[in-house]
Amino acid sequence: MSFKEYKTNIEENDTAILYLGFDNMHAIKVVKGQTFQTKFGALRLSNLIGKPYGSRIQCPKGYLYVLYPTPELWTQNLPHRTQILYSTDISLVTLQLDLKPGSVVVESGTGSGSLSHAIIRTVAPEGHLYTFEFHEQRAQIAKEEFVEHGVSDFVTVTHKDVCQDGFGLNGIADAVFLDLPRPWDAITSAKQALKREGGRLCSFSPCIEQVQKTCEILQQLGFEDITSMECLVKNYDVRTLNLPIADLGKNSTLLNTALEEKKACKEIEEKADSVKIQNETEDLKTKEKSEPMDTDIKEKLTSKDKDKSNKAVDKSKLRTDFDLIGKKEQYNFFFKTGVFPQNMPGHTGYLTFCTLYPS
């Protein structure tokens, strides 16, 4: 199998994603004779072989779906050997580094391979990824995963401390990505790895102090368009609020204005509904003249029109907001509001992007 292309049916030794819910997924290797335990009971992996990806599989106490692995699904389910980048940051990196099929990318460090799989999918089939990892065991495991996932032809894994020894590459890369504790130590070597016609560089750092020092070195080495970003998902809680209008007495201007506006809106809605019903009736009469119809069919259509008109009249009286907050009363004021939380968890790090122009 391969992460860079899609196939229809599940085969033995494939990596597949078991989907039990948006927050309950598992990456498995389909091996004959093995059993995988889920919250819905035991799943015999032999039963998956030959079935199409996306199939619904029945378990003793429920069902699940078998999905074809993509870099996004792999990011959510991979075995964590290090902290990883998630899809929000990965998408921004791919965009800002201008990655496309045929691009040559240098990455350090490899870590758990989350970003690596996304880069490979983007640059294949003509491009290539050179990824460096200072931890020997992690480098070896990543190399084995790339072979197992069918993408080893598009990636070269090297066990090396690039902060100390450099990349050892000259003028071959369109883009460089650094995920290092001391990225400024690798920037000189990264500059040498970029093509003579220039390229893009990205550095990922969790602390703002690292970003500041990295930016200083980038300026000294001639990089331009230096920008630091933080990519966060902001959730808005959208609700319909129902607030009472202040009653300041019979001569209350605020209350009287609100009631007049409400009455005007109601009249407009009723008028629009009546015009709509009138138009539909005229259309029906026109059809009757051009195409005579049976009495039974005519009665059915007439009864349907009556139902529609009744619903149209009643619609203005009812509010069907599922997210309504507050008490429903005649003089209340309704409006939509979107509120986001004051404290937003989810900080992963800062992404610093820059450009090296031709010298």
Amino acid at 222: G
Angle at 257 between CA 252 and CA 258, to 5 degrees: 100
Decide if 106 contacts 200 (C-beta within 8 A).
no
As a whole number of angstroms, the distance between CA 71 and CA 93 comes to 14
Decide if 127 contacts 105 (C-beta within 8 A).
yes
As a whole number of angstroms, the distance between CA 131 and CA 124 comes to 15
Question: And the tokens for 274?
Answer: 């009546």
Binding-site residues sit at: 112-115, 133, 161, 179
Decide if 15 contacts 69 (C-beta within 8 A).
yes
As a whole number of angstroms, the distance between CA 88 and CA 85 comes to 8
Binding-site residues for S-adenosyl-L-methionine sit at: 112-115, 133, 161, 179
In Å, what is the CA distance from 240 to each residue of 245, 263, 328, 334? Answer: 15, 20, 12, 7
Decide if 241 contacts 254 (C-beta within 8 A).
no
Distance of alpha carbon 67 from the chain centroid? 17
Question: And the tokens for 18?
Answer: 């078991």
Element of type H or E holding 24: strand 24-29
- Phi, psi angle pair for 26, to nearest 5°: -140, 135
Closest C-alpha among 27, 231, 20, 64 to residue 145: 27
As a whole number of angstroms, the distance between CA 63 and CA 84 comes to 30
- Phi, psi angle pair for 133, to nearest 5°: -140, 125
For residue 301, with 0-12 CB atoms within 10 Å meaning exposed, 13-18 middle and 19 or more buried, which class applies? middle
Q: Which residues contact 268 (CB under 8 A, 6 or more apart)?
A: none
**Residue at token pair 């089939």:** 125
